[in-house]
């Protein structure tokens, strides 16, 4: 009895069954593209879980920081007042707040600076200035900001934006990897004299050859998100693993074709 061509079966075959790559190479490009989209959708969902967790944690940290470290905040008509306009520094001078009229903003060595009328971001020796009035029209106080930073207010939006963004970014980056791997596979097939493998066949193989790399990418993303564990050359190993699958599949298909012709 022929095995059902379910997505999960394709995933398993792509990882474990190199004999299936002959059939994969001969399938319609549309079928491979649908497989690719489903694989990326799962990756995007996994990424969204991690992104939502990290974003909510940062929002919560900002909320706690304002509640615990800032004694007073008032914003009226484009003018900000924090901690009674006294100079304050946080996180090893990474963040400076000085809303006094005579603040020497340009002399401060900090990445982020809150002044009376402007917010500054400093990158090396370059300082970018943003006027509060260009972004905020409503007058607020400390309690209003703390309440607005309740992560529950943003969870749905974060999930939607993260899912769409992750799907687009992952689709483009993975597709580029697939095209490069397909070119490698096509060149190798030409070198070993297998003229039956056209570029569309190599593309089909490449789509499935990235399967294990994509799954490992999902796992690594979650582990990195929740534990901070980092692998320096993971992206290189990601591409190398998929290329090994590609090369192995092409060689085995060539061997099978030669065996059938002899």
In this model, does residue 233 exceed pLDDT 50? yes
9: left (phi > 0), else alpha (psi -120 to 50), else beta?
Answer: alpha
Contacts of 68 (CB under 8 A, 6+ apart): none
Model confidence pLDDT, tens digit, residues 177-226: 999 999 999 999 988 877 788 999 999 999 999 999 999 999 999 999 88
Site of tokens 């990756």: 43
Task: Look at the chain and count its residues.
Answer: 262
- Beta bridge mates, 76: 79
Tell me the per-residue pLDDT of 14-62, one tens digit each, with 9 for 90 and over.
999 999 999 999 999 999 999 999 999 999 999 999 999 998 888 888 8
pTM over 0.75: yes
How confident is the model over 126-160, as pLDDT tens digits? 888 899 888 878 888 888 888 888 767 788 889 99
Name the DSSP class of 83. G
Task: Determine if residue 194 is left, alpha or beta; phi over 0 gives left, psi from -120 to 50 gives alpha, anything else beta.
Answer: beta
Does 4 score more than 70 pLDDT? Answer: no
Q: How far is the C-alpha of 182 from the C-alpha of 245, rounded, in Å?
A: 11
Question: For residue 227, how far is the Cα from the chain centroid?
Answer: 17
What SS3 class is residue 102?
coil
Tell me the pLDDT band of 262, cut-offs 50, 70 and 90: low
Query: So what's the pLDDT on residue 256?
Result: 81
Spatial contact of 46 and 221, defined as CB atoms under 8 Å apart = yes
Q: Which residues contact 64 (CB under 8 A, 6 or more apart)?
A: none
Greater confidence (243 vs 259) lies with 243
């Amino acid at each position: 009895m022929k095995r059902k061509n379910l997505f999960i079966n394709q995933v398993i075959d792509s990882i474990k069954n190199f004999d299936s790559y002959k059939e994969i190479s001969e399938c319609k490009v549309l079928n491979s593209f649908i497989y690719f989209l489903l694989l990326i959708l799962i990756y995007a969902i996994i990424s969204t879980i991690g992104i939502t967790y990290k974003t909510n944690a940062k929002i919560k940290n900002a909320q706690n920081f304002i509640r615990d470290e800032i004694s007073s905040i008032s914003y009226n008509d484009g003018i900000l007042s924090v901690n009674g306009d006294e100079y304050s520094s946080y996180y090893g001078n990474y963040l400076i707040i000085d809303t006094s009229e005579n603040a020497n903003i340009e002399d401060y060595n900090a990445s982020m600076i809150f002044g009376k009328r402007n917010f500054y971001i400093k990158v090396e020796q370059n300082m970018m200035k943003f006027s509060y009035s260009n972004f905020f029209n409503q007058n607020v106080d400390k309690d209003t900001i703390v309440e607005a930073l309740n992560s529950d207010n943003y969870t749905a939006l974060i999930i939607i934006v993260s899912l769409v963004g992750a799907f687009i970014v992952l689709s483009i980056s993975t597709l580029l990897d697939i095209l490069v791997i397909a070119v490698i596979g096509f060149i190798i097939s030409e070198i070993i004299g297998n003229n039956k493998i056209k570029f569309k066949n190599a593309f089909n193989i490449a789509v499935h050859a990235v399967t294990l790399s994509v799954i490992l990418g999902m796992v690594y993303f979650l582990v990195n998100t929740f534990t901070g564990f980092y692998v320096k050359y993971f992206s290189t190993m990601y591409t190398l693993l998929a290329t090994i699958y590609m090369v192995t599949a092409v060689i085995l298909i060539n061997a099978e074709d030669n065996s059938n012709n002899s």
